[in-house]
Structure 1
Amino acid sequence: MPHIRPVSDLRNNFAEISKIVHETSEPVFLTKNGYGDMVVLSIEAYERKLFKDEVHFKLKEAELEAKSTEKRYTHEEVFSQLKVGLDDNRE
């Protein structure tokens, strides 16, 4: 069930809203005059959402590329390239 609060609660009950977003990892939706105005989310939950969005985007990109070419890579080719990339980042 979503947490919906009036925007005035951000000022009057900040600690409570902060506790909700950190303990539940869910957003709190703030309303102004009965209409949605903004969303409050913990940094951790926001970063997880960004990561999931990026992974989803990369998978869609890979799916489109796979449809546009017949080139396929073996397990060994993929992991050897990943290892090279990891080794380059360590230096």
Structure 2
Amino acid sequence: MPNIRPSSDLRNKYNEISDFCHEHSEPVYITKNGKGDLAVMSIETFESLAGKFELGKLINEGIASMKGNKTRSFREALDDIQNSIE
């Protein structure tokens, strides 16, 4: 169940909101004049979510490359990685 709080709680109960976000790794939804306005979350939760979006983007790029026959063998890719390390 989402945690929904009024915007005044950001000022008056910041520590409580922060503790919740860190303990539960989920956002707190902030309302303004009774309507949804913001989602507040810990930095760790945000970075995890952003990483998932980036991974999804890379997977979609890979799928598009496969559909367009713009791929190369595993051996070629591994050789490129090894050459970049040396």
If the length of structure 1 is used for normalisation, what is the TM-score? 0.83
Counterpart in the other structure of 1:42: 42
In structure 1, list runs of 5 or more residues that go unmatched.
none
Deviations 1:4-55 (A, max 9, x none): 1111111110000000111111000000111001111111111111111111
Preserved CA contact (<8 Å) 2:21 2:27: yes
Stretches of structure 2 lacking an aligned partner (at least 5 in a row): none
Identity over the aligned pairs, expressed in percent? 42
Whole-angstrom CA distance in 1 between matches of 2:29 and 2:83: 44
What is the alpha-carbon root mean square deviation over aligned residues?
1.7
Count of residues paired in the alignment: 86
Task: Detail structure 1 runs of 4+ shifted over 6 Å in the superposition.
Answer: none
Question: Which SS does the other structure have where 2:38 is aligned?
Answer: strand
